[in-house]
Structure 1
C-alpha cells in the first residue's frame, strides 16, 4: 500500500481562494501538489506562500484550452511520474440579468466552468486510470438552486453537477472516484470580492474546503461520496 506522501495532486485555479486552501491542506498531509494559474507570475507567487508546507510547483495554464491542460498534465508526469488526484477548481462568475448579460460573458462562464472541467479531466484521464485516482469537481449550491441574475453561472454549475455525476458512473469501473463538492458562500476573491476576516467570518473558509477534500480522500476505498453540499452554519443575516 502506498504512503500518503507518495501521492500527487493537480489543482486548477490553485493560486488563491478554494484552490489555494485545498493545496495547503494536501501539502500539510504529505501530498506533492501542482497548482495552475492564469499566469506564471500568479502561480509563482502562490508557490512562494505554499512551499513552506511541502513540495509544490506552479504552472501557467488555461483551462479553456485542451492543449494547455494536456501540457499541464505532461509537466506533472515529467516531474513526479504519476497523478493521483485532480481538483478541477478553476471558475469564473458573470452575474447579470439576461437583458444585460452579453455573449462574451456567457461564453467565458461556460467555457471556464464547464468545458474547462471537461478539458482538465480528459487530459488527466489516462494518468488517473493508472493510479486509480480521485477527481474532485468544484460545483456550487448554484448548481441546484437558481437565482435572478445567475443565468450564465447557474447554467454552468447545473451542467457541471450533471456532468460530474455522469462521469462518476462512467469511471467507477476503473476504481476512479469522482466527487462534486457544492459549496455555498466561501470567503474568497471570487467575483472581485475582497475577503474581510471580520465581515466574512460567517462564511466557509478556504481551509474548510481543504479539510473536506482531505477527509474525502481518507474515506474507505469501498465508499464513493458522489455529491457533497456544504454551506455556512449561519448566514450574514443572523
Structure 2
C-alpha cells in the first residue's frame, strides 16, 4: 500500500481520541475513511472536521452488536465499493479492585473491548480477502503488563492481543495483514481524562496515526504483528 490514495479504511470508535487522530492522518494521505460510534450525531460532528463527504463517511454502530457492524461494512461497500484497512479501536475502561468491580462494568468491557474486535473482523473479513487488506486492533500495554485495579481491563486487552495474533496466523494465507498496536499513556478522553497541556509528555493520537501510516507503507514481505509504543520519557512531576 505504498500509494494510499483512494484506499478505503474503517475505524471503530472514530469520533475522538486515537480513532479520530488516526482518521485525520489517513485522510491527509489521500485515503477515504469511515468512522463509527454509538451516537450518529457525535460521529457526524467529528467527521465535519476530517474532509469532504467524498472522503469521509460517518456511521452509527455499536461494536457489541454484530449486526451493527455488518450494516456499517455494507454502507462502506455501497459508497466506495471496497475496504482495504480496518482499525478496531473502540474501547472502554473501568478501573477498580476486583472485589469492587461491578458485574455490569466487567461485561461492558468484555462486550466492547473483546467481543467488539471479533464482531468487526467477522463483518469485514470477506471484504479484506478481496482487497488483500489490513486488519488492526488497538490493544494496550495493559495487554502485557497487569496492574492493581486493572483486572477487567487487563483481561480484555490480554484477550485482544491473543485474538489478534491468532487471527494473524489464520488470515495471512489470504494475504491479509493483521497487527495489534499496544500504546502506553495516550493523551485522550479515555477513562474520564480531559486532555490538556499536562498531557504533552504522553503519546498524542496523531502519533498513532503516523504509526498506522508506517505499517501500511511497509514492504509487504514484512509484518510487525505486535507493536508496543510508549512515551519516550515518563511525566516529570
TM-score tier, shorter chain, comes to over 0.9
Please list, as runs of the form range in 1=range in 2, the aligned pairs for 1:80-159 lying within 5 A after superposition. Answer: 80-159=80-159
Quote how far apart the aligned CAs of 1:53 are: 11
Aligned partner of 2:228 in structure 1 is 229
Normalised TM-score (structure 1): 0.97
Question: How far apart, in 2, do the equivalents of 1:2 and 1:129 lie?
Answer: 19
Going from structure 1 to structure 2, the CA distance change for 1:166 and 1:21 (only over 3 Å counts) comes to same
Matched with 1:76 is 76
**Is the Cα contact below 8 Å between 2:186 and 2:202 reproduced in 1?**
yes
Point out where structure 2 has 5 or more consecutive residues left out of the alignment.
none
Per the alignment, do residues 73 and 161 of structure 1 end up closer, same or farther by CA in structure 2, a change over 3 Å counting? same
CA contact (8 A) 2:2 2:217 kept: no
Q: How big is the shift at 1:3?
A: 4.5
What do residues 59-87 of structure 1 show as CA deviations (whole Å, max 9, x unaligned)? 01000000000000000000000000000
Structure 1 runs, 4 residues or longer, greater than 3 Å off: none
Question: Partners in 1 of 2:98 and 2:112 — Cα distance?
Answer: 19
Alignment of structure 1 residues 155-166 onto 2, 5 Å: 155-166=155-166
CA contact (8 A) 2:2 2:218 kept: no
Q: C-alpha root-mean-square deviation of aligned residues, in Å?
A: 1.4
Q: Residue 24 of structure 1 contacts residue 53 of structure 1 at CA under 8 Å; is this kept in 2?
A: no
What's the TM-score, normalizing by structure 2? 0.97
- The alignment status of 1:67 with 2:61, answered yes or no, reads no
Deviation at 1:6, TM superposition (A): 2.2
Output the CA distance in 1 between the equivalents of 2:80 and 2:135: 18
Partner of 1:168: 168
Would the alpha carbon gap of residues 52 and 80 (structure 1) be closer, same or farther in structure 2, given more than 3 Å must change?
Answer: closer
Cα distance in 2 between the residues matched to 1:57 and 1:86 = 14
Shift in alpha-carbon separation, 1:23–1:151, aligned structure 2, 3 A: same
Asked whether the 8 Å contact 1:30–1:54 carries over to 2, the reply is no
Distance of aligned partners of 1:54 and 1:228 in 2 relative to their CA distance in 1, 3 Å threshold: farther
Q: 1:206 corresponds to which residue?
A: 205
**Residue of structure 1 in register with 2:27 after alignment:** 27
